[in-house]
């Protein structure tokens, strides 16, 4: 159910200063297509994995539209033939999939909306595949699986939905979490062993806590030893963490769902790390200074090298990389990183070399991201790259050829692939050059790879290549082609900072007319709105075709422009970014006279929704109307790890929290504002918009509010997508008008 009725508070918004021109009305069939194809992701290959020898490529793919039910496919590289390896229907006999609240929350953390086979794991030797499905665990023997109805076996265990099932390194065992405790299943016999006790409402074993999943990109809560004899597991105690509840307002008779949610300045989950034999037995607890470093940011148990953990202090200004002695749980410090603002987490760091005598490390110590090679004891052997703002943390280690494959490049709107020599004196060499976003997945021996390219224009492509670039085949995409193609201009705004910007004009653009401008904004950390990928701007093009020029700008606080650029937002999440958006917009208006800066709207979701509210509250001379989707309105109500990274602790930065809150500036709202929010949002809770509505009402302000009953932080279904976009265009047409003739 979806509330389509507009909730108007106090009074209708004031009439616009001029009568809206008749805007062209593109067929809303595009919105139906956008939703039915999950923004054209359905039908695309994903979750790509290669067998160790590169002879086969596995991947998931759904039909191009309708129910996003994914099947598992295999491509034989030699013949180029592709076949269905496994389907959910075949495994389940046509029965539907039922998910627990915990699994739904886990998928929400992973932004996972597909059904069917949503994940799988290929064993290290490539012989077995693990597939979790409908609360059950299946193992497929590839050698015996010559047909879709071949060797598929279910591993049955105790009652309880199995979370995060994964193979041991030799694929002879599978571990999983049931009802907050850790279990191990022997694949050959099917026998299951319970390893831990005490999991329940306030404690869990083997699960990543909320902030680890949501903010640290750490999805797992347990880790196999290379020999399969031991498991390192997280024990999380949330008994002191504040509980937030989500109720269905249309069914007050139903009990609300309750989740531990740590808000800034309040208690986090108490996290410890234990080591337990895979056959069962006593836990050995890992020892580190948890008072100083309460966050367990990452755990790595490499085949060669020590069990390694990265721990952070509460303010994320200091972190320690520790080597663990499994027999005793004792730790030894390998290195300590410090930053006066905050430390970014680089996923998959450290990366240990095969000899176990050195590891790769990434740092921003010298002003931008830099790749280093460090000895086993942590001391620096040499820097492999110069400090480069565009260097991304995603990399692949190819020791056989003495190479590290990295992503990045000098243009922050792109991500190219580079080869970085491990030897001293080597220089990075480009592997890709075509404008766009590149990614690469390797076979274990690095002889074969899958190169994914999302180009600046056109459809994404997945090519199977030899490491020298020879094309060996293609992964088939059956995704639909969008019914419109964006008209894009990438530019530098021309302000003193050189902010990157992209301009989306109507496809029927008339240079003899001036257009109201709409800013499509995120504006926050770790996200860019200006990227060399035309698919990102389909929605903006649809909006532009209604008679607007749509602009996106990346100012300070966004990534891939260096440490100082990103950390300019420390202690105040809105002042600097809002200045940059306004300054860059004004610079664009001076250059492009078709932009009517007397009529500017702004819209965004999540941080972008927050930004949009503050834009009309604090800069009404620049921004004349706003739409805010799921906005964070007070940082005291968001989670600890994200908020405190940028804002510090509330008792040490009370002024910053106050100045960055949309509630503080509610009294100054004079521009039309439309707020959209899902009632079941467990990321930015519905309370954010309710608090804003209350503050605006008490200040006597006009605004509009559309609640989405039962929606979470994302709106993906056809009705929701259609309603959101139509409300946005109606709001801006009503309050900004349409194109007007250029004055002669």
pLDDT for the residue numbered 142:
87
Q: Is 558 among the domain residues? A: yes
pLDDT digits 0-9 by tens, 528-558: 999 999 999 999 999 999 999 999 999 999 9
CA distance 69 to 288: 44
pLDDT digits 0-9 by tens, 483-536: 999 999 999 998 789 999 999 999 999 999 999 999 999 999 999 999 999 999
Question: 606: which 2 tokens?
Answer: 């999540």
**Any idea how long the chain is?**
744
pLDDT for the residue numbered 347:
87
Least confident of 117-121, 220-224, 422-426, 534-538: 422-426
Q: Is 650 among the domain residues? A: yes
Rg from Cα positions in the chain: 26
pLDDT for the residue numbered 19:
33
Asked if residue 723 has pLDDT above 50, the reply is: yes
Q: Is 486 among the domain residues? A: yes
Confidence of residue 113 (pLDDT cuts 50, 70, 90): low
pLDDT for the residue numbered 102:
60
pLDDT digits 0-9 by tens, 44-55: 999 999 999 999
pLDDT for the residue numbered 223:
98
pLDDT for the residue numbered 112:
55
pLDDT for the residue numbered 166:
98
Q: Please state the pTM of the whole predicted model.
A: 0.92
pLDDT for the residue numbered 25:
43
Asked if residue 152 has pLDDT above 90, the reply is: no
pLDDT for the residue numbered 111:
54
CA distance 216 to 642: 9
Q: Is 275 among the domain residues? A: no
pLDDT for the residue numbered 105:
59
The answer to whether residues 595 and 511 touch, using CB atoms and an 8 Å cutoff, is no
The answer to whether residues 184 and 231 touch, using CB atoms and an 8 Å cutoff, is yes
CATH code (residue 507): 3.40.50.1820
pLDDT for the residue numbered 744:
65
Strands of the 429-430 sheet, one edge to the other: 395-398, 403-408, 416-421, 429-430
When comparing pLDDT for 716 and 578, which is higher?
Answer: 578
Least confident of 146-150, 317-321, 688-692, 717-721: 146-150
Dmax over CA atoms of the chain, in Å, equals 85
Mean pLDDT of 131-156: 79
Mean pLDDT of 649-667: 98
pLDDT for the residue numbered 568:
97
Q: Is 581 among the domain residues? A: yes
pLDDT for the residue numbered 93:
72
CA distance 389 to 383: 15
Which residues are CB-neighbours of 440 under 8 A, at least 6 positions away?
396, 405, 417, 431, 449, 450, 451, 452
Asked if residue 22 has pLDDT above 50, the reply is: no
pLDDT for the residue numbered 23:
42
Question: What percentage of the chain exceeds 90 in pLDDT?
Answer: 82
Q: Is 571 among the domain residues? A: yes
Phi, psi of 583 (to 5 degrees): -65, -45
pLDDT digits 0-9 by tens, 403-442: 999 999 999 999 999 999 999 878 899 999 999 999 999 9
pLDDT for the residue numbered 103:
57
Mean pLDDT of 30-51: 93
Confidence of residue 92 (pLDDT cuts 50, 70, 90): confident
Residue with tokens 């990434």: 362
DSSP code string of 492-504 = E--STT--EEEEE
Give the active site residues.
606, 681, 713
Q: Is 672 among the domain residues? A: yes
Q: Which domain holds residue 592?
A: 21-37+481-736
The answer to whether residues 698 and 17 touch, using CB atoms and an 8 Å cutoff, is no
Confidence of residue 637 (pLDDT cuts 50, 70, 90): very high
Count the domains in the chain.
1
Alpha helices in 477-602 (DSSP H): 538-544, 563-566, 575-591
Asked if residue 453 has pLDDT above 90, the reply is: yes
Q: Is 375 among the domain residues? A: no
CA distance 526 to 409: 17
Question: Could you tell me the CA-to-CA distances from 471 to 19, 242, 462 in Å, in that order?
Answer: 57, 54, 10
End-to-end alpha-carbon separation of the chain, Å? 51
Asked if residue 17 has pLDDT above 70, the reply is: no
């Amino acid at each position: 159910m979806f509330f389509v009725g507009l909730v108007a508070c106090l009074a209708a918004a004031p009439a616009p200063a001029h009568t809206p021109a008749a805007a062209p009305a593109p067929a809303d069939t595009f919105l139906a297509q956008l939703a039915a194809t999950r923004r054209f992701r359905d039908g695309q290959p994903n979750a790509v994995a290669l067998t160790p020898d590169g002879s086969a490529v596995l991947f998931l793919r759904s039909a191009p539209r309708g129910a996003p039910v994914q099947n598992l496919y295999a491509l034989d590289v030699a013949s180029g033939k592709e076949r269905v390896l496994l389907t959910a229907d075949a495994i389940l006999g046509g029965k539907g999939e039922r998910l627990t609240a915990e699994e739904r929350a886990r998928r929400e953390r992973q932004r996972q909306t597909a059904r069917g086979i949503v994940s799988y794991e290929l064993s290290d030797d490539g012989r077995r595949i693990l597939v979790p499905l409908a609360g059950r665990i299946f193992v497929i023997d590839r050698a015996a699986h010559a047909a879709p109805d071949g060797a598929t076996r279910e591993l049955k265990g105790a009652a309880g939905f199995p979370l995060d099932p994964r193979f041991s390194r030799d694929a002879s065992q599978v571990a999983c979490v049931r009802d907050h405790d850790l279990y191990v299943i022997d694949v050959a016999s099917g026998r299951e062993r319970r390893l831990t006790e005490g999991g329940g409402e306030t404690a869990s074993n083997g699960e990543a806590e909320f902030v680890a999943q949501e903010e640290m990109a750490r999805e797992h809560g347990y880790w196999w030893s290379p020999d399969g004899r031991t498991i390192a597991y997280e024990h999380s105690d949330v008994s002191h963490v504040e509980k937030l509840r989500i109720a269905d307002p249309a069914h007050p008779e139903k009990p609300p769902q309750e989740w531990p949610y740590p808000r800034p300045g309040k208690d986090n989950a108490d996290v410890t790390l234990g080591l337990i034999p895979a056959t069962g037995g006593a836990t050995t607890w890992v020892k580190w200074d948890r008072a100083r470093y309460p966050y367990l940011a990452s755990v790595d148990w490499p085949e060669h090298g020590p069990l390694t953990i990265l721990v952070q202090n509460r303010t994320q200004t200091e972190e320690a990389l520790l080597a663990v002695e499994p027999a005793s749980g004792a730790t030894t410090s390998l290195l300590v990183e410090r930053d006066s603002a905050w430390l970014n987490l680089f996923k998959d760091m450290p990366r240990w070399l095969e000899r176990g005598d050195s590891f790769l490390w990434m740092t921003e110590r010298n002003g931008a991201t830099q790749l280093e090679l460090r000895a086993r004891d942590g001391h620096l052997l040499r820097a492999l790259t110069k400090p480069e703002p565009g260097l991304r943390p995603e990399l692949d280690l190819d020791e056989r050829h003495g190479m590290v494959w990295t992503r990045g490049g000098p243009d922050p709107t792109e991500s190219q692939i580079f080869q970085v020599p491990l030897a001293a004196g080597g220089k990075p060499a480009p592997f890709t050059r075509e404008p766009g976003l590149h990614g690469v997945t390797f076979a274990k021996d690095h002889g074969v790879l899958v190169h994914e390219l999302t180009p600046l224009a056109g459809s994404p492509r997945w090519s199977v290549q030899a490491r020298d670039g020879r094309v060996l085949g293609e992964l088939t995409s059956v995704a639909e082609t969008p019914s419109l193609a964006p008209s894009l201009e990438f530019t530098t705004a021309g302000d003193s900072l050189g902010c990157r910007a992209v301009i989306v004009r109507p496809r029927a653009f008339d240079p003899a007319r001036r257009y109201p401008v709409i800013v499509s904004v995120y504006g926050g950390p770790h996200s860019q709105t200006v990227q060399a990928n035309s698919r990102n701007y389909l929605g903006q093009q649809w909006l532009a075709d209604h008679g607007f020029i749509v602009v996106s700008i990346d100012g300070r606080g966004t990534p891939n422009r260096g440490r100082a650029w990103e950390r300019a937002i420390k202690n105040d999440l809105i002042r600097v970014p809002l200045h940059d958006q306004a300054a860059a917009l004004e610079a664009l208006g001076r250059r492009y006279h078709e932009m009517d800066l007397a009529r500017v709207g702004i819209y965004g979701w999540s941080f972008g929704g927050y930004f949009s509210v503050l834009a009309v509250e604090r800069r009404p001379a620049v921004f004349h109307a706003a739409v805010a989707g799921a906005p964070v309105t007070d940082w005291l109500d968001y989670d600890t790890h994200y908020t405190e990274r940028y804002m510090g602790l509330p008792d040490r930065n009370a002024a910053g929290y106050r100045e960055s809150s949309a509630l503080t500036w509610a009294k100054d709202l004079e521009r039309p504002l439309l707020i959209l929010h899902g009632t079941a949002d467990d990321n930015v809770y519905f309370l954010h918009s309710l608090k804003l509505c209350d503050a605006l009402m008490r200040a006597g302000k006009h605004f509009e509010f559309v609640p989405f009953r039962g929606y979470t932080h994302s709106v993906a279904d056809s009705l929701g997508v259609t309603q959101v976009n139509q409300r946005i265009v109606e709001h801006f047409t009503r309050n900004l008008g349409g194109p007007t003739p250029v004055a002669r």
